[in-house]
């Protein structure tokens, strides 16, 4: 489907301006998210001191680090602020999203990310966050109803098609998160084994772990 002129202009503008990003890695020698309160204060401070007039800035929580993206004209000042706070960081350069869907529709996602980041600064209570989540998801799906394939809308009782999609997405998200956590836990397991027995493990194979356990046993 051809983009409308205003969408083309938006996409071209974002392509031309682009956002630059920095990863927040460590604060006082420790992973930035080891103390999430400190990490949040750094992000809030970045907004108050540097990014208040940036209409595109946003941040993401990424387990052991955070990402801050901003327009190029605010970038150097942001780095100065992080230096003053004693944060060790990595400069990534222009934002090229790793998620194909986000990259394909970046002209849509970019203002959304900014809006969500600004909403986080309101520091809502959990029940308000839950209510907002419901409104965001419902409104998005409501707007898609007229263009959705009939197959999607008729798989379940007509009034439940939205709940059906939300449930499927929740199951997918739980599976994806579990897979990521499993991979992280497996890598840590192998790292611990390498330290214990002083050998190099070059592949993620459960039989190698069993072999390591066997040689680690003490003689009877």
- Residue carrying structure tokens 């394939």: 149
Cα-Cα-Cα-Cα dihedral sign, residues 18, 20, 23, 27: negative
Q: What is the pLDDT, as a whole number, of residue 1?
A: 46
| Two tokens, residue 139 | 């409104």
Q: What is the pLDDT, as a whole number, of residue 15?
A: 60
Q: What is the pLDDT, as a whole number, of residue 165?
A: 83
- Phi and psi torsions of 201, nearest 5°: -105, 120
Residue pair 42/85 in contact by the 8 Å Cβ criterion: yes
- Range(s) of the chain covered by CATH 3.30.70: 5-120
Q: Between 19 and 207, where is the model more confident?
A: 19
Q: Which class does domain 5-120 fall in?
A: alpha beta
Q: What is the SS3 string spanning 66-124?
A: EEEEECHHHHHHHHHHHHHHCEEEEEEEECCCCCHHHHHCHHHHHHHHHHHHHHHCCCC
Q: What percent of the chain has pLDDT over 90?
A: 43
Q: Is pLDDT at 130 greater than 60 in this prediction?
A: yes
C-alpha span between 137 and 215 (Å, rounded): 53
Q: How many residues does the chain have?
A: 220
CA 140, chain centre distance (Å): 20
> pTM of the prediction?
0.72
Q: Is pLDDT at 193 greater than 60 in this prediction?
A: no
Q: Is pLDDT at 186 greater than 50 in this prediction?
A: yes
For 185, other C-beta atoms within 10 Å of its C-beta total: 10
Tens digit of each residue's pLDDT (9 = 90 or more) over 140-177: 988 888 888 776 767 766 678 888 888 888 888 887 77
Q: What is the pLDDT, as a whole number, of residue 164?
A: 82
Tens digit of each residue's pLDDT (9 = 90 or more) over 17-60: 679 999 998 988 888 988 899 999 999 999 999 999 999 999 99
Q: What is the pLDDT, as a whole number, of residue 6?
A: 47
C-alpha span between 42 and 34 (Å, rounded): 13
Q: Of 34, 46, 23, give the one whose Cα is nearest residue 120.
A: 46
- β 65-70/87-94 pair status: unpaired
Q: What is the pLDDT, as a whole number, of residue 177?
A: 76
* Average pLDDT of span 88-103: 90
Q: What is the pLDDT, as a whole number, of residue 202?
A: 44
């Amino acid at each position: 489907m051809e983009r409308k002129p205003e969408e083309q202009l938006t996409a071209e503008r974002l392509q031309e301006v682009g956002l630059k990003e920095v990863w927040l890695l460590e604060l006082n020698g420790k992973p930035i998210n080891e103390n999430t309160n400190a990490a949040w204060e750094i992000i809030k401070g970045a907004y108050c001191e540097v990014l208040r007039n940036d209409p595109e800035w946003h941040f993401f929580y990424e387990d052991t680090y955070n990402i801050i993206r901003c327009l190029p004209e605010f970038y150097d000042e942001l780095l100065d602020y992080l230096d003053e706070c004693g944060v060790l960081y990595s400069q990534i350069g222009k934002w090229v999203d790793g998620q194909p869907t986000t990259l394909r529709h970046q002209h849509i996602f970019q203002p959304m990310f900014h809006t969500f980041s600004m909403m986080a600064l309101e520091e809502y209570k959990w029940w308000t966050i839950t209510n907002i989540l419901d409104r965001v998801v419902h409104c998005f799906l409501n707007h898609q109803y007229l263009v959705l394939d009939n197959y999607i809308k008729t798989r379940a009782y007509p009034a439940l098609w939205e709940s059906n999609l939300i449930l499927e997405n929740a199951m997918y998200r739980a599976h994806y998160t579990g897979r990521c956590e499993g991979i992280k836990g497996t890598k840590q397991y192998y790292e611990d084994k390498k330290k214990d027995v002083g050998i190099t493990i070059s592949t993620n194979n459960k039989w190698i772990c069993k072999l390591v356990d066997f040689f680690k046993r003490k003689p009877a």
